[in-house]
Amino acid sequence: MPDPAASAPRPGTGRPPGGDAPWTLLQAAAVIGGYRWLEHRLFEIVGGWVTTVPIAAVQVHLDAQSARHAWHAELWADRLPVLAGVDPEGLTKPPGRAAAAVIAALGGSGSTYRSLEDPDDHDTDRTTGGGPGALPLLAGLYRVVLPRLVMTYRRHLEVASPVTDGPTIRALRLVLADEVEDWHDGERLVERLVARPHDVRAVAGFLQHLESAVVAEGVTVGLVTLPDPGPPT
């Protein structure tokens, strides 16, 4: 009689032993390098917003979250595997065009989006240069980027093996706990700031811009398309 335990899913993977093969070292390195790039760019972008938003409470909020992203980037740097002939710094790059596009939009570059203008705009609606203002940018971070990043980390946890990926699993859980907390705190902040019909229009337009950029690159879940597993072993 077959042993039920032999066909039970591996903890944290949802896959039975003998199922899909794990990622190669190079695939894992590319994923982790992409995470490092994302977290470092979020550290830079969110930290830059601290000096452009004129609301003290929001500045404190953004400063704390920027520091968390910096720590996440360091955590992922420590998890980069050492590969012969491969420069670890060279692995730190955008994990796909969808992630690169939304990060560029948050950073105010590489985007054709322009926020709606209104005679009654206040400083959280606009930034200099005619690009999206602080409120659309905050909404983009907390309603598109962080939710999709959270989903990416959760999907990675589902396919990670406790046997071979223990350090990565620990890092994923630490980072994921922070991201979920930051996402929820940020959503509360955005809900308080969206106070006028124009705010709703400006936010909705920028969110549509970001989501369209992700969908255009074929990403259906999360922000990063994770590697396909190898053939069954």
Q: What is the mean pLDDT of residues 23-27?
A: 88
Identify the pLDDT of residue 89: 83
Helix axes 197-216, 97-106, angle to 10 degrees: 150
Residue-wise pLDDT for 109-123, tens only, equals 644 334 333 334 344
Q: How far does CA 165 lie from the centroid of its chain?
A: 21
Q: What is the mean pLDDT of residues 222-229?
A: 86
Residues found in the chain: 233
Q: What share of the chain is helix, strand, coil (3-state, %, to 5)?
A: 60, 0, 40
Q: How far is CA 8 from CA 15, 23, 34, in A?
A: 8, 21, 32
pLDDT for 41 beyond 60: yes
Identify the pLDDT of residue 131: 66
Residue-wise pLDDT for 51-105, tens only, equals 888 889 999 999 999 999 999 999 999 999 877 777 878 899 999 999 999 999 9
Identify the pLDDT of residue 121: 39
The full set of domain ranges for the chain reads: 22-114+121-216
User: Which amino acid, 163?
Assistant: V
Identify the pLDDT of residue 20: 56
Q: What is the mean pLDDT of residues 163-192?
A: 95
DSSP letter, residue 20: S
pLDDT for 19 beyond 80: no
CATH placement of domain 22-114+121-216: 1.20.1260.10
